[in-house]
Amino acid sequence: MRAQPVWKQSEADHRAEIERLYFRLAAVNERIAELDRIHPESEALESLKASALTLTRQIDDIRCSIADEQLTGLLAR
């Protein structure tokens, strides 16, 4: 097996982390929908929404990191 450049391996790691975060986000969103049907005024609902926003920010941060690494690789050529 050929060795991959470090940035490609790093990108694969980032993409795996994004996938993991998407699964967590889907679970949180499912719980939000469930709780919204049962207890729309619940404080837990606001907490879950904040968690969902945090997960989306983490996904965005990783995506930006991937783009930065790709741009750095292109500029290094």
Domain locations in the chain? Answer: 24-76
Closest CA to 62 of 24, 12, 4, 23: 12
Query: Which carries the bigger pLDDT value, residue 8 or residue 18?
Result: 18
pLDDT at residue 69, as a whole number:
87
Q: Helix %, strand %, coil % for the chain, to 5?
A: 85, 0, 15
pLDDT in tens, 37-64: 999 898 999 999 999 999 999 999 999 9
Q: Predicted confidence band at 1 (pLDDT cuts at 50, 70, 90)?
A: very low
Rg (CA), the chain: 17
Q: CB count, 10 Å around CB of 70?
A: 13
